Amino acid sequence: MPSTHILKPAPENLTDIDINEAAMMNAAAAAGIRVSDSVVENIGGQRVFVTTRYDRVRDQEGNILRIHQEDFAQALGYRAQAKYQKEKGPALRNMIPFLREHVVDPEADVDQVNRLLAFNVAIGNADAHAKNHSILIMPLGNHLAPAYDLLSVAAYPAYSQELALSVGKQYHARQVQERDWRYYAEKSGQDVERVLAIVAEVWSRTPDAVADSLNRHGASREMKETIMETVRTIEDRMPST
């Protein structure tokens, strides 16, 4: 029988990563991004991140069925290891036109990608690579999958802080400026002002959403301070609309 949830025990080498991921998933939802429900549970004496699978559906008899999905590396024909742009993986300028051609509601799904991109930049999610964006292959038409694997990598400064997918030519989340959003929008064939408006909308909601979610999930003071220090940098980089 297909599983209905994904369980991730917290590894010892990344402190409170389960709390980090659950907090960022819930903050993303508060910022207007579609995500699966997720919580941190205690299972058998171990803390576990639990998220509902979005690629499952029940038929009329109650049977659990799988929905086929492809991540953007697969969908664009890249080898499985090529998930980072700098390692010969897809770039956003490849992903956006492909999405427009292969989903039933391209405007809504492209907007969703831009919301997610803005949120990932705000929280310092450097690991939002091509395999962390997927398309659900449905009988009546394809759709962008809900966001998953959201994490503030900024909380772990020993790990690379270089964005897996650049915004324009910029690979450093804390240095992304309005000019980078404009360049990205132009190169991917989007309406520049629409992209800037989405970024501004998401960024206006993100600081409070992240702070509230970190508190509700019991994040440590160190984690809260580190993540919020990154998030607050967007205040001086808010696009003009």
Q: Is 127 a catalytic residue?
A: yes
DSSP-assigned states of every residue in 67-124: -EEEEHHHHTT--TT--SGGGT---HHHHHHHHHHHSS-HHHHHHHHHHHHHHHHHHT
Q: Which two tokens stand for residue 201?
A: 């909308």
Q: Which tokens go with 219?
A: 């994040």
Query: How far, in Å, CA of 224 to CA of 159, rounded?
Result: 18
CA gap 142, 140 in Å, rounded: 7
Residue in the block written with tokens 């690379």: 160
SS3 135: strand
Distance CA 99, CA 238 (A): 26
Catalytic residue among 111, 127, 149, 180: 127
- Residue 57's CB is within 10 A of a number of other CB atoms, namely 13
Adjacency order of strands within the sheet including 68-71: 68-71, 134-137, 143-144
Where b means 16+ CB within 10 Å and e means fewer, 174-191 reads eebebebbbbbbeebebe
Catalytic residue ranges: 127
